Amino acid sequence: MPGLNIPFSNVEYERRLGLVRNDMTARGIDVLFVEDPSNMAWITGYDGWSFYVHQGVLVFLDEDPIWWGRQQDSNGAKRTVWMDDVRVTKYGDHYIQSTERHPMQDLAGLLISKGYGAKRIGVELENYYFSAKAYLTMKEELPNVEFIDATSMVNWLRAVKSDEELAFMRKAARISEKIVDGIYERVEVGMRKSDLVADIYADAIRGLDDAWGDYPAIVPLLPSGADASAPHLTWDGRTLQPDVATFFEISGCYRRYHAPLCRTIFFGKPPQYLLDAEKALSEGLEAGLEAAKAGNVAGDIARALAKPLTAAGIERGARAGYPIGISYPPDWGERTISIREVDETVLKPGMTFHFMPGLWMDGWGLEITESILIKDQGPAECLCDRPRGLFIKN
Return the bridge partners of 361, or none: 364
Sign (positive or negative) of CA dihedral 42, 48, 53, 55:
negative
Please tell me whether residue 51 binds its own copies under the rule CB under 8 A: yes
Q: Of 145 and 382, which has the nearer Cβ to its own copies?
A: 145
Query: With respect to its own copies, which residue has the nearer C-beta, 204 or 274?
Result: 204
d(CA 166, CA 155): 16
Stretch that binds its own copies, among 11-19, 126-134, 277-285, 374-382 (CB under 8 A): 126-134
Omega within 30 of 0 (cis) for the link into 379: yes
The residue within the footprint of its own copies, chosen from 27, 110, 170, 195 (CB under 8 A), is: 195
CB nearer to its own copies: give 66 or 382.
66
75 contributes a contact to its own copies by CB under 8 A: yes
Q: Which of 17, 96, 112, 312 binds its own copies (CB under 8 A)?
A: 96
Tell me the C-alpha distance between 275 and 228, whole Å: 16
| Interaction between residue 311 and its own copies (CB under 8 A) | no
Q: Which of positions 211-250 make contact with its own copies (CB under 8 A)?
A: 211-215, 218-219, 221, 227, 229-237
Nearer to its own copies, 189 or 219 (CB): 219
33 binds its own copies (CB under 8 A): no
Minimal distance, residue 13 CB to its own copies, in Å: 19
Could you give the CA distance from residue 150 to residue 122 in angstroms, rounded to a whole number? 5
| Residue of 361, 235, 378, 211 lying closest to 295 (CA atoms) | 378
- Binding piece for its own copies, criterion CB under 8 A, among 17-25, 114-122, 285-293, 338-346: 338-346
Q: How big is the CA angle at 249 (ends 244 and 255), to the nearest 5 degrees? A: 160
One-letter amino acid for residue 331 of the chain: D
Binding flag, residue 144, its own copies (CB under 8 A): no
Residue closer to its own copies by CB (options 19, 96) is 96
Could you write out the DSSP letters of every residue in 254-273?
A: ETTEEEEEEEEEEES---HH
Q: At its nearest, how many Å lie between its own copies and the CB of residue 96?
A: 7
Nearer to its own copies, 239 or 290 (CB): 239
Residue in 279, 252, 236, 291 with CA at minimum distance from that of residue 368: 279
Which listed range, 21-29, 50-58, 114-122, 276-284, lies at the site for its own copies (CB under 8 A)? 50-58
Contact between 297 and its own copies (CB under 8 A)? no
**Residue 48 binding its own copies, by CB under 8 A:** yes
Distance of CA 92 to the CA centre of its chain: 31
Can you say whether residue 31 is alpha, beta or left, with left for phi > 0 and alpha for psi between -120 and 50 degrees? beta
276 lies in the binding site for its own copies (CB under 8 A): no
Task: Using alpha carbons, select from 205, 223, 210 the residue that is nearest to residue 167.
Answer: 210
**In the range 344-363, which residues lie near its own copies by CB under 8 A?**
360
Q: Which of 1, 5, 26, 272 binds its own copies (CB under 8 A)?
A: 5
- Please pick, from the candidates 251, 338, 352, 369, the single residue that binds its own copies as defined by CB under 8 A: 338
Closest distance of CB 209 from its own copies, Å: 9
Considering only residues 186, 206, 348, 393, which one is a binding residue for its own copies as defined by CB under 8 A? 206
- Segment 168-187, which members bind its own copies (CB under 8 A)? none
Residue 205 within binding range of its own copies, rule CB under 8 A: yes
Interaction between residue 331 and its own copies (CB under 8 A) = yes
The 370-373 sheet, strands edge to edge? 321-323, 352-355, 370-373, 381-382
Using rule CB under 8 A, residue 1 touches its own copies = no
Question: Per rule CB under 8 A, is residue 322 in the interface with its own copies?
Answer: yes
User: Which residues are 370's β-sheet partners?
Assistant: 355
| Of 10 and 72, CB closest to its own copies | 72
- Between 116 and 235, CB nearer to its own copies: 235
Terminal-to-terminal C-alpha distance of the chain: 58
Distance CA 277, CA 366 (A): 8
> Which DSSP helix (H) or strand (E) runs through 132?
helix 132-141
By beta-carbon proximity to its own copies, the closer residue of 308 and 358 is 358
The gap from C-alpha 343 to its chain's centroid, in whole angstroms, comes to: 19
Helix (H) or strand (E) holding 393: strand 391-393
* Omega of the bond leading into 220 within 30 degrees of 0 (cis): no
